[in-house]
Amino acid sequence: MKSSYMKYSIPLLIIMCFSTVRSQQWVNPHFDTHRMDYRDLGYPAQNLIPADNSRITALMTHSNGFVYGATSGKTQSYLFFYNRFINKVRPLGKIGSETGVYHCLLEGKNGEIYIGTGMNMLAPVKFTKDFPVAYEGIEKQMWKDIKTHYGSYPGGHIYKYDPAAGDVHRYTNEDSALLEDLGIPVANNTVYAMAFSQDSARIYGLSYPDADFFIFDLKTGNTTNLGDIMTHKVYGGPERHWRSVPRDLYCDPVSGNVYTSGDNGFLLKYTPGSDHLELTYLRLPGEYWEGLKSWDYPIIEQFISDPSGNVYASTHDGYLVRLDFNGEKVIVLGKPRVMRRMRAMGMGKNNKIYMITGEFERSCKLHSYDLSGREGFRELGPFAVDRSPYYAKRAYQFDALAIGPDGTVFCGESDRDGKLFFYIPGEDAFRGQLNPANPVIQRQRKDTPGLIQEAL
C-alpha cells in the first residue's frame, strides 16, 4: 500500500512543481502582478461567446458604470458587458448577422448605445499572386483585391441598443441582442469610425475601404456622404494589407468642428454645414514616403481628451501627440516603443494616459504616460496573468481599451478565444516602494528564484 502510494504521488509532485516553476516565468516584472487579471466572455456551457467569434475589437465605458464591448469573428459579432457588481462578463447576444465591430461604440445623450458594424477587419483578404507588376503595380492590384473582397458585402449597419431594456435579459449563444437597426450608411463598406456631433443629433463617420466621410442624421435616418477624404490609396498600415484609412474622428465640443487625418499626415477639418473637408497645417510625426520604397504616411489611430480639454492623438507609427487646434500646433510627446502602432489608449483617473502598443503578430504591451511630467512614459509590460494552479494566461494581441469609473484599465484581447483583461493602477500609492532603484525591490528581485524554490 505504501509503495503504491509513493509510486503515484512522487511523479505527481514533480509534475506539479515543474508546472509551478514554469508558470512563474509569466510573472510581470514591471508591477505588482495582482493588479492584472482577466475574465471569460460568459459562462462555460451556458452562454460563453465561442472562441472563433470572441476577438474583442471595441470597448466603451458607459455612464451607468458598466463597460460594454463588441467582438469580431469568423461567423458572428457579439455584444457584451462587464458587470462590476458581480465581477463577471455577461454576453448580450448577437449583433445582427454582422461579423465585425471595430471601435465603433458611442453612448447617446439618453444612455442608448450606437454600434457601427462591418466585416471582420481581422480576417485575411485573398490577394492575387500573379499579375503584371510593371503595368498594374502592387498598390493597384491590392486595391482591386480589396474591392473584390467587399464587392458582395451589402454594407455595415448602425444599430441602437438600450441598456435599460437589454441588460436585464439572460442570453444564450443563439440569442440576438435587443437592437434597433438604423440602416446602412455606406454601401459595400464597413463603418470604420464614428463620433457624435456637438448636439449628439448626428453621427459623423468614416467607412472602409472607400474612406468616405458620412453624416448620419439620427432623427431622419438619412445619410449625407461627402465621399473619399483621401486623394491617394496607400498601404503603410496600421496593417500592411489594409488601406491606410484614419481610425477615429474628433468633434470639438466648443466649435463643433470635426477632425481626422488625411493625405501626407495632414489633419483635415470639417465645419458643420460645409460640403467638404478642408486641409489644416497640423501634421503628424512619423515615417513618410520620401525615405521609403513605398508611398507611406502616418494616420490617426485614436483621439482622446483630458478633463482640462486638451486633445491627444495616437498614430499608427506609435507616436503620442497633443493637438492645439486653435494655434494649429502638434506637440510631439514621444513614442513609448520602437515598434510601430499604438493600438488603443484611454485617459486614466490618475492624470495618466494608458496605451496598448505593438504591431500585428508581435506581442502587445501596456504603457502609461504621466501628464504631470514626473514620470513620462512607463512600460507596464506584457499581458501576463498567473493565478496558478487555478489558471494562467499570457496574451499577445489587443485592439481595444476603456477606463472604468474607478480607474481600472480594461483591455480587449483580439486573439482567438479572447478575454477581457484589466489592470488596476496603484503605483501612485506606493511610488517610493515601487521605484526600481529602491534597494528593497532590487533585493526582492534578486532573491525571487530562491524564494520560489523555498515555496516548493
Q: pLDDT exceeding 70 applies to what percent of the chain?
A: 85
**Distance between CA atoms of residues 113 and 159, nearest Å:** 8
> Quick one: pLDDT band at residue 254, thresholds 50, 70, 90?
very high
Those residues whose C-beta lies under 8 Å from the C-beta of residue 171, and which sit 6 or more positions away, are 47, 90, 91, 92, 93, 177
Residue type, 405: P
Q: What is the pLDDT of residues 202-227, one digit of tens each?
A: 999 999 999 999 999 999 999 999 99
Question: Residue 13's pLDDT is what?
Answer: 45
Instruction: Work out the pLDDT band at 291, boundaries 50, 70, 90.
Output: low
Q: Is 128 helix (H, G, I), strand (E, B) or coil?
A: coil
Q: Which domains does the chain have, with CATH numbers?
A: 2-425 (2.130.10.10)
Q: How far apart are CA 177 and CA 90, in angstroms?
A: 12
**Count of positions (residues) in the chain:** 456
Separation of alpha carbons 234 and 240, rounded Å = 10
Those residues whose C-beta lies under 8 Å from the C-beta of residue 190, and which sit 6 or more positions away, are 100, 102, 117, 118, 119, 121, 150, 153, 156, 207, 208, 209
More confident residue, 409 or 448: 409
Cα angle 286, 291, 295 (rounded to 5 degrees) comes to 75
* Alpha helices by DSSP H, 137-201: 138-151, 163-166
pLDDT confidence bin for 296, thresholds 50/70/90: confident
List the Cα angle 39/422/303 in 5-degree steps.
125
The pLDDT tens digits of the residues spanning 25-45 come to 556 777 777 899 999 999 988
Are residues 456 and 450 in contact, defined by beta-carbon separation less than 8 angstroms?
no
133-146, pLDDT tens digit by residue? Answer: 766 678 888 899 99
Residues in Cβ contact with 417 at an 8 Å cutoff, skipping those fewer than 6 apart: 51, 54
DSSP 17: H
pLDDT of 351: 92
The predicted-structure confidence for 152-208, as pLDDT tens digits, reads as follows 999 999 999 999 999 988 888 789 999 999 999 999 999 999 999 999 999 999 999
pLDDT for the residue numbered 287: 81
Task: Using the structure block, give the residue that is written with the C-alpha cell 508591477.
Answer: 31
DSSP string, 230-263: -SS----SSSTTS-------EE-TTT--EEEE-G
Helices 439-455 and 2-24: angle between axes, nearest 10 degrees: 160
More confident residue, 283 or 137: 283
